[in-house]
Chain A
Amino acid sequence: MSTAVAGTSRAGAALTLYLPRLVGALIVIWGAATLAFLVLHLVPGDPVDIMLGVQSTVSEQVRESIRDELGLNQPILQQYLAYLGHVVTLDFGRSYRLQQPVTAVIGAQLLPTVQLAALSIVFALVIALAIALAARTRVARAIATLIELIAISSPTFWTGLLLLTVFSFQLRWFPVSGGQGLPALVLPALTLALPIAGILSQVIRHGLDGANAQPFVDSARARGLTFAEQLGRHTLRHASPPAVTLAAYIVGSLLGGAVIIEQLFGRPGIGRVALDAINNRDLPVVMALVIFAAVVFVVINLIVDLLYPLIDPRLRRTR
């Protein structure tokens, strides 16, 4: 990858390597979009009724004109094709409740959730590495296992409450709720990070054990490399691929977790939008979020595929 040879065979090889993955990625997004369409049309109740609300007294004539406008009177296949066209152009229709384009509703709330997720990943990585690297003796291992077990088993809405009790109500280090600035971000991000740190630490520890049994570590040790050098150049690289494999799942669970965290800490964001949409049966918003989650999943997986050869030299120039 470092030598940029622009030969046709090289490009062809890259194409055969990545084309199936790209097609696979598009299939996942298409599947999610189709599922969203089916669900929108299979859901009991008239979309127009849901849109107008239960107590609306709009006449049948107006309802009919809304149906025409939304294309609900066309054959289902035609509706489906039109819908796919809209999805491709990122047009998810209008929110039933807010009467705004769905893209605008989601776009306006994207930043707080991205900030939350980003800081959570940083926290999770730091905590996981700290635990995994500290667990080098038998006793430390037992303690690490226990910490990981508790981190994975505790629901975030409980750890969040514990952190709030101690650091916001008792010590008053952080604000109780709200979305302003870095201090308000610390506790929510930490809460979201803990279960992820637990699982990451297990995976990294497992990977380090495997790496230490490899001959290249013996050779590195024989060459007189310090522990830190071994770690940076060899063992951590070996331990990383399984952890990186989890990346897409972890980002997914950050999205899901954001729903609970944003509610718990009174923060704005995508999770809040999702919960509001669910409570009000604002289905266009829900379905756009489903497609959004699919796109995030697919993009992360593609990035992961590209990262593997950079992390583990043995995966380079294969195939």
Chain B
Amino acid sequence: MSVGRPDLLELARPAAGRRRRTVPPVGAVAGVVLGVLVLAAVLPWIFTGADPLATATSDSQLPPSLEHLFGTDKLGRDVFSRVVHGAGLSLSFGFTATLAALILGILIGVASGLAPRPVDNVIMRALEIALAFPELLVALVVIALLGPGTTNVIVAITVAAVPVYARVVRITTIQVRQSAFIEASVALGQHRVAIVLKHLLPNVIGPLLVLATIGIGTSIIAGSGLSFLGLGPVSPTPEWGLMLSDGRNSLGTAWWIAVFPGLAITVTVISTTVLGRYLQGRFEGRAR
């Protein structure tokens, strides 16, 4: 499992000035790669006509060729087609869980940041306790309670990701709450809900989107990791983590069955990380 918890990557960020000159093309490339992956997730048949579930025992474990770009697996299924069709489920782990975690994180973080001191303290302590556990462990506990399955995997990754976002939102909320424009809005007699929606939220969401972009990658690794452990979708569903664990047993004879789905995960996660850091650079450039 990766240690790339999005808020901790902040610690390791290189200085902004030096990076911005070289990064834009890289950021654009990452964006394009991610775009292609999303396209594969939504419309897989653009990329391949082969059926990801069609078995052909005569074509068992064929090495990569022009006909089968990524080779075939034990049951003669086309690995390229399975990787393309697997994008949907694997990406949805990342996107769905991150979106849900963002919403929950914003709710908890804003509530905590605006709450009276004692309430805020309790929520903050609870977040700190939650952050004490590695994300995978939290996700595993949730799975232990809910049982395995695709939906439960998404719920588990969401629960594991919420504390990170909630903590960042809470800190920004407290910072923004003290700023002059909020005081001015209060003095002008605007409604509290209006102030939160119009002034607080836009300021809170900006820095969060950068974290979330990187968080998508982390969630994809977590989701495919849980699938790899056999806690998510079940065979023959095409899903990258599950394909890897299927391929593990034929590693000695047919490396391609496991290598290509893993490559897909890595490429996806690299793109989200690079894009996230690029957005971060842009965001800071504007703020300065």
Query: A residues near B, CB below 8 A?
Result: 27-28, 31-32, 35, 39, 43, 145, 149-150, 152-158, 161-162, 164-165, 169, 176, 195-196, 198-199, 202-203, 205-206, 209, 242, 245-246, 248-250, 252-253, 255-257, 259-260, 263-264, 274-275, 277-279, 281, 283, 286, 289-290, 293-294, 297-298
Q: B132, A153: Cβ atoms under 8 Å?
A: no
Partner of B228, one of A249, A260, A274, A297: A260
Q: Which of B78-86, B182-190, B192-200, B243-251 contacts A (4 or more CB under 8 A)?
A: B243-251
> Are the C-beta atoms of A161 and B4 separated by less than 8 Å?
no
Which residues of A lie under 8 Å from residue B132 when comparing CB positions?
28, 32, 248, 252, 293-294, 297-298
Interface string of B190-227 (1 = CB under 8 A from A): 00000000000000000000000000010001001100
The listed residue with most A CB atoms (<10 A of its CB), out of B128, B132, B148, B258, is B132
14 A/B residue pairs, CB under 8 Å, sorted by A: A28-B128, A35-B129, A43-B145, A152-B2, A156-B225, A157-B224, A157-B262, A164-B251, A203-B12, A205-B12, A209-B14, A249-B8, A260-B136, A263-B228
Quick check: is B9 within 8 A (CB to CB) of the other chain? yes
In the complex, are the beta carbons of A281 and B3 less than 8 A apart? no
Residue of B nearest to A155 (CB): B221
- Shortest CB–CB separation between residue A6 and chain B, in angstroms? 34
In the complex with contacts A150-B270, A162-B262, A293-B1 CB distance below 8 A? no
B117 at the binding interface (Cβ < 8 Å)? no
Name B residues whose Cβ lies closer than 8 Å to a Cβ of A. 1-5, 8-9, 11-15, 125-126, 128-129, 132-137, 140-141, 143-145, 147-148, 217, 221, 224-225, 228-231, 241, 244-245, 247-248, 251-252, 255, 258-259, 262-263, 265-266, 269-270, 273-274
> Which B residues lie within 8 Å of A27 (CB)?
125, 129
Chain B, residue nearest A154 (CB): B266
Q: Report, nearest first, the 5 A-B pairs whose CB atoms are least far apart.
A: A158-B262, A202-B12, A256-B136, A256-B134, A252-B134
Which residues of chain B are within 8 angstroms of A31 by Cβ–Cβ distance?
A: 125-126, 129
Do A297 and B244 form a contact, CB below 8 Å, given A150-B270, A155-B266? no
A259 to B231, CA, bound (A): 12
| A255:B137 contact, CB within 8 angstroms | yes
A260 to B221, CA, bound (A): 12
**Complexed CA–CA distance, A203 and B5 (Å):** 14
CA distance A150 to B224 in the complex (A): 17
Nearest CB of chain B from residue A84's CB, rounded to whole Å:
16
Flag if B3 contacts A165 (CB, 8 Å): no
Contact A264 B248 (CB under 8 A): yes
Q: A165 to B244: give the CA distance in the assembly, Å.
A: 13
A202 to B144, CA, bound (A): 34
Partner pick for A155 among B8, B140, B224, CB 8 A cutoff: B224
User: Which residues of A lie under 8 Å from residue B129 when comparing CB positions?
Assistant: 27-28, 31-32, 35, 294
A219 to B137 CA separation, bound complex (whole angstroms): 47
**Do B9 and A199 touch across chains, with their CB atoms under 8 A apart?**
yes
Chain B positions within 8 Å of A294 at CB level = 129, 132-133
6 additional contacts (CB under 8 A) given A154-B2, A169-B255: A154-B265, A155-B225, A156-B1, A203-B12, A209-B15, A259-B229
- State how many angstroms separate the Cβ of A276 from the closest Cβ of chain B: 11
Complex Cα distance, B265 from A157, in Å, reads 11
Which chain B residues lie closer than 8 Å to A263 at the CB level?
228-229
Question: How many angstroms between the C-alpha atoms of A165 and B255 in the bound complex?
Answer: 7
Q: Which residue of B lies closest to A165 (CB)?
A: B255
> With a CB–CB cut-off of 8 A, which chain B residues contact A252?
132-134, 137
* Interchain CB contact under 8 A, B125 and A206: no
Min Cβ gap B21→A in Å is: 12
Contact A161 B136 (CB under 8 A): no
Q: Which B residue sits closest to A213, measured CB to CB? A: B15
Report whether B134 and A246 are in contact in the complex, using a CB–CB cutoff of 8 Å. Answer: no
Q: How far is the CA of A294 from the CA of B265 in the complex (A)?
A: 30
Q: A257 near B1 (CB under 8 angstroms)?
A: yes
Verify B12–A206 contact, CB threshold 8 A: yes
* Minimum Cβ distance to chain B for residue A125 (Å): 14
* A residues near B133, Cβ cutoff 8 Å: 32, 252, 290, 293-294, 297
